[in-house]
Amino acid sequence: MSLLATTSSFIGRREQGILLEVPQRVRAGEIVEVRTLLFHTMETAQEAGKASFITQVTVELDGKPLCSFDCSAMMSPNPYLAFPVRVEKNGMLRLRWVDNNGQTGSAERPVTVQ
């Protein structure tokens, strides 16, 4: 399934430079795939004269850190990330990126256990 094509089983919306998708229906203890597309040019100094790239991506569920990714200028523009998350109860999933120039982007989605 394409990340850009939101279906009835996923909630997805572009927000502050991030498209974040989480399943709409989750059972307690289920491991679900979270998919995200980070809208960023990821330019090296060779390409633009000044480097601009995401350096870190952090993911939290209800304010508790789940994972983080250290990035470099070697990533492609608009990087796609997918990762598993075990969901035990309702909560808010938040993803945030920071680039080497201090710019940030963030998005959050509710996760509902049924």
Tell me the pLDDT tens digit for each residue of 77-107: 899 999 999 999 999 999 999 999 999 999 9
Cα Rg of the chain (Å, integer) = 15
Please check whether residue 19 is in contact with residue 3, taking contact to mean a CB–CB distance below 8 angstroms.
yes
Tell me the pLDDT tens digit for each residue of 26-54: 999 999 999 999 988 888 777 667 888 88
SS3 assignment, position 78: coil
**Confidence at residue 56, expressed as pLDDT on a 0 to 100 scale:** 95
pTM: 0.79
Please check whether residue 34 is in contact with residue 93, taking contact to mean a CB–CB distance below 8 angstroms.
yes
Nearest to 50 by CA among 104, 97, 99: 99
Q: So where are the chain's domains? A: 10-111
Banded model confidence at residue 1, pLDDT cuts 50, 70, 90: very low
Q: Regarding the domain delimited by 10-111, which CATH topology (the fold level of the hierarchy) does it fall under?
A: Immunoglobulin-like (2.60.40)
Distance CA 34, CA 3 (A): 10
